[in-house]
């Protein structure tokens, strides 16, 4: 099989990558639309779709040149086909189909969540890649779920959030604290100078059976705490203590929920964490400890592979192509596409 081109455009990152058939990265690029959306404090779908369209053709040309390949040499072209914002999904999918038609290359519509899930199997990450089955904790701005990953296309959702995603909670609390968007990284930075034991914020669903999540009660508790202070900018130390206490609460909840999920999947030995929130150091340490306590190994891909990227899309494409799983060109992108 020839190298595979991957395209990601489901949210606010435009990304392209070329991997050889074994999964080694030949070229990759991620362009974040952070600057376009920041004035609105969140992703604006129409702006996202237009921004994907504006940068994708050049970006693909660039990664193909870096990889030293022509389109006809590709073994496949894979694009995120959902779930996500429909405008961006259409841009990436149609672009991939165009290449497939023009150059007679197989087309693969990749489930974005499966791409996050399969990232841990990239060779080189953990020796030759994690073997099935394993447990995935996906914590991003739009998703928060525990998934039993048993094979390509063989996933079982063990639990998911009843309200906000973990990253969404970070973003909302960051907003309450007057931080910019996206809030996660800024909140983690602020929390570094705070006292995490200053506030005993609630730990929603802690100890409860199963591995569902909930963050709205925690977020409301933070809002009440913020409201106790005078309107306007919070004193730096007050904000830092709230940030640190919130972050600890989220870390404890995620560790507890993951621990329950591990108990639900005793046949697995590896807990994989993916999604933007997996970049958080406090959360990684809490999950490492929770995994160790259950005799699991925690695999956390490097941050650039945890957040949205096209390496994971190309890799998921390779996994599918190896099994002969290709899509026809009438595939319609799916805003909702649960695992
Ligand atoms: O996976 P991702 O890049 O995009 C999707 O949502 O699909 O995740 C972005 C989310 C945002 O909510 C962001 O605030 C959060 O991940 N995030 C973090 C950190 N870095 C990113 N949350 C907590 N701590 C971080 N260091
Ligand atoms: Zn994602």
Peptide bond into 83 cis (omega under 30): yes
pLDDT of residue 113: 95
pLDDT of residue 2: 97
pLDDT of residue 231: 80
Residue 277 in contact with ligand 1 by CB distance below 6 A: yes
Atom of ligand 1 nearest to the CA of 303: 20
Which residue minimizes the CA distance to atom 3 of ligand 1?
Answer: 307
Q: What residues in the chain have per-residue pLDDT under 50?
A: none
Find the ligand nearest to 82 CA: 2
pLDDT of residue 230: 86
Round to whole Å and give the CA distance between 208 and 116. Answer: 27
Give 65's contacts (C-beta < 8 A, 6+ positions apart): none
On whether the CB atoms of residues 335 and 113 are closer than 8 A, the answer is no
C-alpha distances (whole Å) from 237 to each of 127, 189, 197, 244 are: 43, 13, 13, 10
Peptide bond into 133 cis (omega under 30): yes
Distance, C-alpha 208 to centroid of its chain? 25
Give 255's contacts (C-beta < 8 A, 6+ positions apart): 286, 287, 289, 290
Q: What is the DSSP string of 143-176?
A: -EEEEEEEETTEEEEEEEBSS--HHHHHHHHHHH
Atom of ligand 1 nearest to the CA of 279: 26
Round to whole Å and give the CA distance between 248 and 57. Answer: 42
pLDDT of residue 274: 93
pLDDT of residue 20: 98
Atom of ligand 1 nearest to the CA of 165: 12
Q: Output Rg (C-alpha) for the chain, integer angstroms.
A: 20
Residue 6 in contact with ligand 1 by CB distance below 6 A: no
pLDDT of residue 204: 96
Residue 14 in contact with ligand 1 by CB distance below 6 A: no
pLDDT of residue 218: 97
pLDDT of residue 118: 95
pTM to 2 decimals?
0.93
Atom of ligand 1 nearest to the CA of 307: 3
pLDDT of residue 279: 92
Residue 275 in contact with ligand 1 by CB distance below 6 A: yes
């Amino acid at each position: 099989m020839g190298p595979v081109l991957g395209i990601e455009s489901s949210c606010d990152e435009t990304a392209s990558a070329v991997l050889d058939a074994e999964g080694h990265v030949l070229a990759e690029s991620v362009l974040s639309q952070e600057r376009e959306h920041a004035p609105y404090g969140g992703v604006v779908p129409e702006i996202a779709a237009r921004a994907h369209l504006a940068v994708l053709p050049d970006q693909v040309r660039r990664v193909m040149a870096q990889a030293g390949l022509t389109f006809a040499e590709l073994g496949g072209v894979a694009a995120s086909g959902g779930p996500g914002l429909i405008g961006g999904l259409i841009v990436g999918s149609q672009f991939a189909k165009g290449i497939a038609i023009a150059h007679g290359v197989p087309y693969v519509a990749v489930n974005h969540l499966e791409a996050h899930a399969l990232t841990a199997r990239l060779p080189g990450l953990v020796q030759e890649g994690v073997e099935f089955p394993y447990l995935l904790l996906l914590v991003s701005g739009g998703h928060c779920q525990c998934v039993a990953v048993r094979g390509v296309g063989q996933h079982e959702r063990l639990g998911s959030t009843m309200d906000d995603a973990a990253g969404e909670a970070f973003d909302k609390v960051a907003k309450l604290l007057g931080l910019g968007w996206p809030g996660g990284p800024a909140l983690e930075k602020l929390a570094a100078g705070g006292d995490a034991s200053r506030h005993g914020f609630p730990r929603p669903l802690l100890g409860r059976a199963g591995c569902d999540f909930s963050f709205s009660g925690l977020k409301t508790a933070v809002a009440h705490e913020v409201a106790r202070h005078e309107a306007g900018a919070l004193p730096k130390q007050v904000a830092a203590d709230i940030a640190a206490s919130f972050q600890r609460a989220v870390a404890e909840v995620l560790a507890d929920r993951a621990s329950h999920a591990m108990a639900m999947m005793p046949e697995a030995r590896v807990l994989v964490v993916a999604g933007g929130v997996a970049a958080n150091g406090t959360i990684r340490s809490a999950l490492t400890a929770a995994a160790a306590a259950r005799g699991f190994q925690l695999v956390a891909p490097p941050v650039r592979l945890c957040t949205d990227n096209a390496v994971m899309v190309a890799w998921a494409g390779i996994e599918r192509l190896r099994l002969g799983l290709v899509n026809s060109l009438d595939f319609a992108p799916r805003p909702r596409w649960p695992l």
